[in-house]
């Protein structure tokens, strides 16, 4: 039998405060602050460049794209990494609950079962289990350690599972049977979620394919159609000048508008990249923050192809 320290209520509260103080801070606010700082920097650089005080080989629209990339990229990749880690934790949660239930069938309390299960390997869930084990060994009640775990992970599945376990432990019933039931329920929920993710990944692929088809269309227009139109407009204007006319009636191609059309094409790519990326995130995980990663990838790809490779 595993022994844990017996602390008073005041000592338990101090132990919980020490544990919370050592928790890894959420970097969301930091990343948002850094992103907004870069957005402001690129906006200022764009303003300085527009008035001729900064000589860089970029157009004003390029600074807007840089600002969007700075706003979408850091937080988007951080949210995606955090979501992936949480999914891996949820995937191993049924195994952990099953092992705790098995330990409980040998007469161990919930606290002792968690401490014993902490010696196992559960992938990314292992550090969280070791934290719970350390908290229990410091004298924190098992229900409180489970609550702290649910606040760290904080997904609907984990919150629901831990809430049932805490209530069963507080009620003093057969926790092992409850853990077995919760483990099976979590397993079924995760399998259903994975099936949905596989189905939705097909639609995400369709979004990416449609975006790259749009990019290919814009490239063909920029490299083939617009130059031919500019060439034809120049020929028509030269012919009109030879005839002493400002323009030939019925045959008028405004060459000056072609650059504006190319600019509109670039803006269309920006809008599609941001919108399609957010849509892909909502389709795949139901999250706009994860869609920011897709928007960053699409926008960066569009910028490289239209402004660097085929400029």
pLDDT digits (tens, 9 = 90+) for 279-297: 999 988 888 888 999 999 9
Q: Which backbone phi and psi does 150 adopt, to 5 degrees? A: -65, -30
Helix (H, G, I), strand (E, B) or coil at 255: coil
Burial pattern 221-253, b for ≥16 Cβ within 10 A else e, equals ebeeebeebbeebeebbeebeeeeeeeeeeeeb
Quick one: pLDDT at residue 17? Answer: 57
Token pair for residue 1?
A: 């039998």
Q: How far is the C-alpha of 207 from the C-alpha of 141, rounded, in Å?
A: 49
Instruction: Tell me the pTM.
Output: 0.78
Quick one: pLDDT at residue 236? Answer: 67
Q: How far is the C-alpha of 263 from the C-alpha of 178, rounded, in Å?
A: 62
> What Rg do the C-alpha atoms of the chain give, in angstroms?
30
- 143 has a pLDDT exceeding 50: yes
Which residues on adjacent β-strands are paired with residue 248? 251
């Amino acid at each position: 039998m595993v022994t844990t320290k017996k602390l008073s209520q005041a000592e338990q509260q101090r132990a919980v405060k020490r544990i919370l103080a050592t928790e890894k801070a959420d970097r969301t606010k930091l990343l948002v602050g850094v992103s907004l700082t870069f957005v402001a920097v690129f906006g200022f650089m764009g303003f300085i460049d527009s008035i001729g005080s900064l000589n860089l080989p970029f157009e004003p629209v390029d600074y807007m794209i840089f600002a969007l990339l700075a706003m979408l990229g850091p937080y988007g990749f951080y949210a995606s990494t955090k979501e992936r880690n949480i999914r891996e934790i949820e995937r191993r949660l049924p195994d952990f609950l099953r092992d705790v239930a098995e330990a409980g069938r040998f007469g161990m309390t919930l606290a002792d079962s968690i401490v014993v299960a902490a010696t196992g390997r559960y992938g990314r869930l292992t550090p969280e289990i070791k934290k719970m084990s350390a908290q229990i060994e410091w004298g924190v009640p098992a229900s409180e350690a489970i609550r702290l775990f649910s606040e760290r992970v904080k997904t609907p599945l984990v919150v629901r599972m831990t809430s049932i376990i805490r209530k069963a432990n507080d009620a003093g019933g057969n926790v092992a049977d409850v853990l077995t039931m919760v483990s099976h329920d979590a397993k079924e929920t995760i399998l259903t979620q994975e099936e949905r993710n596989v189905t939705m990944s097909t639609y995400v692929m369709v979004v990416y394919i449609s975006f790259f088809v749009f990019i290919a269309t814009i490239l063909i227009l920029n490299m083939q159609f617009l130059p031919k139109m500019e060439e034809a407009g120049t020929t028509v204007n030269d012919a009109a000048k030879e005839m002493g006319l400002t323009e030939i009636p019925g045959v008028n191609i405004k060459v000056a508008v072609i650059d504006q059309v190319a600019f509109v094409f670039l803006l269309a790519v920006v809008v599609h990249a941001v919108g399609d990326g957010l849509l892909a995130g909502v389709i795949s995980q139901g999250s706009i923050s994860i869609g920011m990663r897709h928007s960053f990838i699409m926008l960066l790809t569009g910028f490289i192809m239209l402004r660097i490779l085929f400029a």
